[in-house]
Amino acid sequence: MSDWKDLTIIHGNVEGARAAFERACEMVIRKQHANAHGIRVHIGDGGIDIYVGEFGSSPLVVYQCKYFTDGIGDSQKKQIRKSYQAAIRSEEFEVKEWFLCLPIALSTTESKWFQDWSEKCEYPVKLIAHTQLMEWAETSGLATIIFQRKDSMKLDWLIDNFKQRDRDPWVALVEQTEEDCYRILLKLIRLHQSCLKDRYEHLSLLSRRAEAGDRMDACEYVKTVLAGNIEEVHKLWIFSLLSDFTYEPVAYKFILRYDALIEKAKQYEKLCELSSSEFYSTWNLLRSPALSTLREKAYWTVKFP
């Protein structure tokens, strides 16, 4: 069984996990209510992340998502109260009920605070337990998407498919993973180059070769940046550039994708063979303890063994 806190590990930082939690809540609530809608994330969203109903026609059932993973202290209580007040005072909609979605169980003290506060609220306020959200995610099949189980499941499918055809699946597994990882690296290189603006000729050359389909030069680009003689801030960008809309570091997405193959390599006793791959060395460098300071400066919270 997954845990909502796993989102921080999956997405590499709290910002990415927060956005992922809000998307997950929207997905599972939509499964419960066909007329549920999400609100585009922006500053000052009016205490509403998801709603059930139609603006202007009737009062809305409002859902607010708070990715608090370390308990509910004074700061978190203030944010909860502020969101509630923003919702009930909105001139754009009327509140019927207000639900708070949290990724953790409340302590006895926190539960007492929530009960005392909610009973004093003008409109009905309820808490959706983290276990209820997880049950909805699991029973609807959405947990596979939310917790990114698809990479390992994809490889399992390939293994079963090739076994049925009496073929060794290992080559296909490596090819599929390296194709996926190459596309992720291309995304990272394009973002990095757009920031550099052709500042380094040798990196521009590697970028053009990678764009032309050279997978080895895609790997070489990342390794040259991280191990080369360039400004630290330009190295930092490798770890801080984010995927569109997800707030997930692109480099971390690469690591996760290759992690799935590493696990299969251990099962097939192919790790030694895999270690000669350029993708393996890129994966290893991105996780290197020598680069932990850069990852921390990019606000990565995940730790690698």
Query: Which pLDDT tens digit goes with each residue over 125-174?
Result: 999 999 999 999 988 888 878 887 655 555 555 555 555 555 567 777 88
**Distances, alpha carbon 293 to alpha carbons 20, 28, 188, 280, in Å:** 25, 37, 20, 21
Hey, what CATH topology would domain 6-146 get? Trna Endonuclease; Chain: A, domain 1 (3.40.1350)
Q: Which residue type is seen at 56?
A: G
Select the more confidently predicted residue: 154 or 104: 104
pLDDT, residue 156, reads 58
pLDDT, residue 264, reads 85
Average pLDDT, the chain: 88
Domain boundaries, the chain: 6-146, 150-297
pLDDT, residue 293, reads 95
Taken as a whole, the chain contains a residue count of 305
Rounded Cα–Cα distance for residues 204 and 6 (Å): 37
Question: Could you report the per-residue pLDDT of 215-261, keeping only the tens digit for each?
Answer: 999 999 999 999 999 999 999 999 999 876 567 899 998 999 899 88
Q: Residue 233 in 3-state DSSP?
A: helix
With vertex at residue 188, the alpha carbon angle to CA 14 and CA 176, rounded to the nearest 5 degrees, is 100
pLDDT, residue 284, reads 96
Q: Which of 39-48, 200-209, 267-276 has the highest mean pLDDT?
A: 200-209
Closest CA to 90 of 132, 45, 120: 45
Q: For residues 86-97, give the mean pLDDT.
A: 92
**Least confident stretch, 3-12, 172-181, 268-277, 290-299:** 3-12
pLDDT, residue 162, reads 55
Q: Which residue type is seen at 149?
A: R
**Ramachandran area for residue 51 (φ above 0: left; ψ -120 to 50: alpha; else beta):** beta
pLDDT, residue 43, reads 46
Closest CA to 146 of 37, 47, 31: 31
Burial of 204-213, coded b for 16+ CB within 10 Å and e otherwise, reads eebbebbeee
- Backbone φ and ψ for 234, nearest 5 degrees, come out as -75, -30
